[in-house]
Amino acid sequence: MIMLVKEFGAQHTWKRNITAMNAHRANSTSLLSSLLILLALIFLSTACAAPGGSTSSTFPPRTHPQAAATQPPAMVHIPSGPITYVALGASDAVGVGSDQPGSQGYVPLVAAHLPKGSHLVNLGISG
């Protein structure tokens, strides 16, 4: 009979420890949820703040240039002599994925339209 009491006492203590751990886990989860909600509120309030530290919620009106809308775009002078074309890019610069990678990337296609005597530097890296 004493053995049963000891087993019951140990089992009762074990159940009490499990209950305490479950309560601690519930408190930790509740604390984590509260912390995540607080961080979300801080993020949202920061995102909604006025730019530049201004406390004003009004922004200056946008100006719409009337003269620019009525004028045609300015012409850009393109040199007629040879140029050096330096191309940067990834696999699309090299032409990976096409039937003819050496000639169907954007770099060889653009280079084909350069003035005679132009120099091509292809820095495109496949991969």
- With a CB cutoff of 8 Å and minimum separation 6, the contacts of 93 are 87, 105, 106, 107, 122, 123, 124, 125
Residues facing residue 85 across a β-bridge: 120
Nearest alpha-carbon partner for 90 in 50, 125, 41: 125
Q: How many residues does the chain have?
A: 127
AA letter at 116? K
Q: Is the pLDDT of residue 43 over 90?
A: no
Q: What is the pLDDT of residue 84?
A: 92
| Two tokens, residue 5 | 């009491």
Query: 124: which DSSP letter?
Result: -
pTM of the predicted model over 0.85: no
What φ, ψ does residue 43 adopt, rounded to 5°?
Answer: -60, -45
Pick from 123, 120, 55: nearest CA to 83: 120
Instruction: Show me where the domains of the chain are located.
Output: 2-49, 82-122
> Which contiguous run of DSSP H or E holds residue 28?
helix 2-47
Which tens digit of pLDDT belongs to each residue from 55-89?
555 666 666 665 555 677 777 777 678 999 999 88
| Identity at 57, one-letter amino acid code | S
pLDDT tens-digit readout, 85-127:
999 888 888 778 878 877 888 888 888 988 889 999 988 887 7
| Cβ-contact 82, 116 below 8 angstroms | yes
Answer yes or no: are the C-beta atoms of 114 and 80 closer than 8 Å. Answer: no
